[in-house]
Structure 1
Amino acid sequence: MDVDHAVILAQPYAGLEAQARGLAERAGLVPSVHALVARRPWHWLPAARWPAPLHAIAPLGQLPEGLVLGVGGVAAAVGAALRRQGRQVVQIQNPRMRFDRFDLVVANTHDEIVGANVLLSRNALHRVGPTVLAAAREVWAQHLAHLPRPLVAVLVGGSNGRFRLDLPTGQALAAQLAGIMRSERVGLALTPSRRTAPEVRAALAAALSPLGAWIWDMQGDNPYFGLLACADAIVVTADSVSMVSEAAATTVPVLVAPLPGRSRRIGLFLRTLQQAGRIRMFDGRLQHWPTEPLDDTPAVAHEMRRRLGMADPVAPRGLGHE
Structure 2
Amino acid sequence: MEITPPDIEAEGRARGTAARPLSIWTVSDGRAGIQNQALGLAEAVARLTPAHIAIQTVKWRPAFDRWPSSLKTPAMLAPGSLDPRTVVEWPDLWIAAGRASLPLSTRVRDWSGGRTFVVQTQDPRWRNDGYDLIVAPAHDGLSGDNVFEIIGSPHRITPQKLAEAAPTFADRIAALPRPHVVAMIGGRSKAFDLTEAHAADLADRIRTAVQAAGGSLLLTFSRRTPAAAQAVMAARLSDLPGWIWDGTGDNPLFAMLDAADHVLVTEDSANMATEAAATGKPVHVLPMVPLKSAGKFARLHADLEAHGAARPFDGDLTAWTYEPLNETERAARAVLEAMGTR
TM score, norm. by length of structure 2: 0.85
Counterpart amino acid of residue 289 in structure 1: W
Per-residue displacement from partner, 1:121-141 (whole Å, max 9, x unpaired)? 112100001211110123233
Tell me whether 1:229 sits opposite 2:258 in the alignment. yes
Tell me whether 1:82 sits opposite 2:112 in the alignment. no
Structure 1 counterpart of 2:5? none
* Residue ranges of structure 1 left out of the alignment (5+ in a row): 311-322
**Which secondary structure does the structure 1 equivalent of 2:279 belong to?**
coil
| TM-align CA RMSD | 2.0
Tell me whether 1:16 sits opposite 2:34 in the alignment. yes
Structure 2 counterpart of 1:55? 75
Once the two structures are overlaid, the 10-residue window that deviates more, 60-69 or 170-179, is 60-69
Per-residue displacement from partner, 1:10-59 (whole Å, max 9, x unpaired)? 11311111001001011013322222122354323232x32x53333236
Structure 1 residues 60 and 188, CA, compared in 2 at 3 Å: closer, same or farther? closer
Runs of 4+ aligned structure 1 residues displaced above 6 Å come to none
Once the two structures are overlaid, the 10-residue window that deviates more, 86-95 or 114-123, is 86-95
Structure 2 counterpart of 1:33? 55
1-side partners of 2:73 and 2:164: how far apart? 40
2-side partners of 1:235 and 1:8: how far apart? 29
TM superposition shift of 1:285: 2.5
Structure 2 counterpart of 1:254? 283
TM score, norm. by length of structure 1: 0.90
Structure 2 counterpart of 1:113? 142
Counterpart amino acid of residue 256 in structure 1: V
Residue-pair matches, total: 309
1-side partners of 2:52 and 2:318: how far apart? 39
TM superposition shift of 1:3: 5.2
Contact kept, 8 Å, 1:256 with 1:281, in 2: the verdict is yes
* Residue ranges of structure 2 left out of the alignment (5+ in a row): 1-14
Per-residue displacement from partner, 1:202-221 (whole Å, max 9, x unpaired)? 21222122232321122111
2-side partners of 1:144 and 1:291: how far apart? 24
Once the two structures are overlaid, the 10-residue window that deviates more, 68-77 or 115-124, is 68-77
Counterpart amino acid of residue 276 in structure 1: H
1-side partners of 2:329 and 2:123: how far apart? 19
Structure 2 counterpart of 1:292? 323
Contact kept, 8 Å, 1:245 with 1:295, in 2: the verdict is no
TM superposition shift of 1:177: 1.1
TM superposition shift of 1:157: 1.1
Structure 1 residues 234 and 40, CA, compared in 2 at 3 Å: closer, same or farther? closer
Structure 2 counterpart of 1:124? 153
- Map 1:1-322 onto structure 2 (within 5 A): 4-28=22-46, 29-39=51-61, 41-47=63-69, 49-50=70-71, 52-58=72-78, 60-61=82-83, 62-63=86-87, 64-66=89-91, 67-85=93-111, 86=113, 87-261=116-290, 262-309=293-340
Once the two structures are overlaid, the 10-residue window that deviates more, 35-44 or 18-27, is 35-44
2-side partners of 1:11 and 1:210: how far apart? 38
Contact kept, 8 Å, 2:219 with 2:243, in 1: the verdict is yes
Contact kept, 8 Å, 2:129 with 2:146, in 1: the verdict is yes
**Which secondary structure does the structure 2 equivalent of 1:285 belong to?**
coil
Contact kept, 8 Å, 1:54 with 1:81, in 2: the verdict is no
Once the two structures are overlaid, the 10-residue window that deviates more, 239-248 or 191-200, is 191-200
Per-residue displacement from partner, 1:74-124 (whole Å, max 9, x unpaired)? 312211112222232111121223333111111111111111111111121
1-side partners of 2:133 and 2:232: how far apart? 45
Counterpart amino acid of residue 131 in structure 1: Q
Contact kept, 8 Å, 1:107 with 1:120, in 2: the verdict is yes
2-side partners of 1:117 and 1:3: how far apart? 25
